[in-house]
Amino acid sequence: MKKLLSIVVPCFNEEPALKSFYEVVDKVSREMLELDFEFVFVDDGSRDGTLKEIEKLREGDKRVKFVSFSRNFGKEAALLAGLDYANGDYVATMDADLQDPPALLPEMYEAIKDGEYDCVATRRVTREGEPPIRSFFARIFYRLINKMSKIEMVDGARDYRLMTRQMVDAIISMREYNRYSKGLFSFVGFKTKWIEFQNVQRVAGETHWSFWKLFVYAIDGICAFSTVPLVIAAVLGLIFCMLAFILIVVIIVKTLLYGDPVGGWPSTICVILMVGGIQLLALGIIGEYLAKTYLETKHRPIYIIKSTEKDK
């Protein structure tokens, strides 16, 4: 019997891109004769005609399945839902905008099919067409998070992967609320082969990531896979305690030797401001972790499904 490959596609307002996406992947699927294909589109609460477009594809091709959310839950939730819903012996996750070239699929499958690798991941080696400031901060982020976390995050890694069933099961067994896929993929281990490609522009529509969203996502990533910021807060506290201790000794000695002329008001204010600032920073860091813990303990569902192809 042929093995089944599931293509998991998170879609948020992707109406203009979906048709060309389907056509390109469909063409690839006809070249990969060893495999049966299924498409799992996850409509992440799109406000345009994405769902209609998916239903249209379903009418023409019964290999198309979909999950539609009750609202926008974000790409991470959409990816999880897709992985939950996919039945394949192999599962590939890719974006709907053709920024993850489907033409790589045969090459990826070659690497995984004899069981030498459990996962084939892709990274883009260029960031062409991206605002330079965004690339700059991305690079800083990867350098930071790799210093702070034992889990390795690859710069330029896409969420475009082909995985075995075993690895998919490992991923979906992790039901954490604050999902940071790049970290989760790395956390589960397994043998991963990396394939590199040049950056591709999206075919239609526009990116959903504003600078602010990416910034928040970066903080989420760091909190999810590192507790080093907490250590930094503690170390800052320690340094300031030591400084204070030294200063106290110096002042006592100075007062004993030279008496106590009044003065130093501006410097006192500066010290108060700085120490206050550092306290707030440390509190903020702790608060960030506490907030994440709070959300996790609520055990809210990561996504809520409104409909699937079975409802039709």
Q: Which residues bind ligand UDP (CB under 6 A)?
A: 10-12, 14, 44, 72, 74-75, 78, 95-97, 99, 202, 207-209
Minimum CB–partner distance for residue 51 and Mg ion (Å): 19
- In the complex, the smallest distance separating the C-beta of residue 57 from ligand UDP, rounded to whole angstroms, is 15
Q: For residues 168 and 83, is the Cβ–Cβ distance under 8 A?
A: yes
Of ligand UDP, Mg ion, none, which one sits near residue 168, judging by CB under 5 to 8 A according to partner kind? Answer: none
Give the one residue of 97, 100, 118, 159 binding Mg ion; rule: CB under 5 A.
97
80 in Cβ contact with 168 (< 8 Å):
no
Among 100, 115, 213, residue whose Cα is nearest residue 165 = 115
Query: CB of residue 206 vs ligand UDP: minimum separation in angstroms?
Result: 7
Which is closer to ligand UDP, CB of 200 or CB of 236? Answer: 200
Q: From the list 6, 50, 93, 99, which residue makes contact with Mg ion (rule: CB under 5 A)?
A: 99
User: With respect to ligand UDP, which residue has the nearer C-beta, 82 or 229?
Assistant: 82
Q: Which does 104 bind (CB under 5 to 8 A by kind): ligand UDP, Mg ion, none?
A: none
- Do 202 and 158 contact (CB within 8 A), yes or no? no
Nearer residue to ligand UDP within complex by CB, 213 or 254: 213
Q: Which of 119, 117, 116, 138 minimizes the C-alpha distance to 127?
A: 138
Task: Pick what 43 binds: Mg ion, ligand UDP, none; C-beta below 5 to 8 Å, kind-dependent.
Answer: none
Q: How many CB atoms lie within 10 A of CB 169?
A: 12
164-203 footprint of Mg ion as x/- string (CB under 5 A): --------------------------------------x-
Q: Please state the closest distance from residue 144 (CB atom) to ligand UDP, in A.
A: 19
Strands 119-124 and 157-164: antiparallel
Q: What are phi and psi of 151, to 5 degrees?
A: -75, 135
Q: What is the DSSP letter of 100?
A: S
Site for Mg ion in 44-83 (CB under 5 A): none
Q: Shortest Cβ distance from residue 36 to ligand UDP (Å)? A: 23
Written as six digits, the tokens of 67 are 């999950």
For Mg ion, the closer of residues 15 and 95 by Cβ is 95
Q: Are 146 and 219 in contact (CB under 8 A)?
A: no
Closest approach, Cβ 129 to ligand UDP, in A, equals 10
User: Can you read off the two tokens belonging to residue 114?
Assistant: 């004899």
- Reported as type and span, the H/E element at residue 157 is strand 157-164
CA distances from 197 to 57, 99, 104, 125 (A): 29, 10, 9, 6
Binding site for Mg ion (CB under 5 A): 95, 97, 99, 202
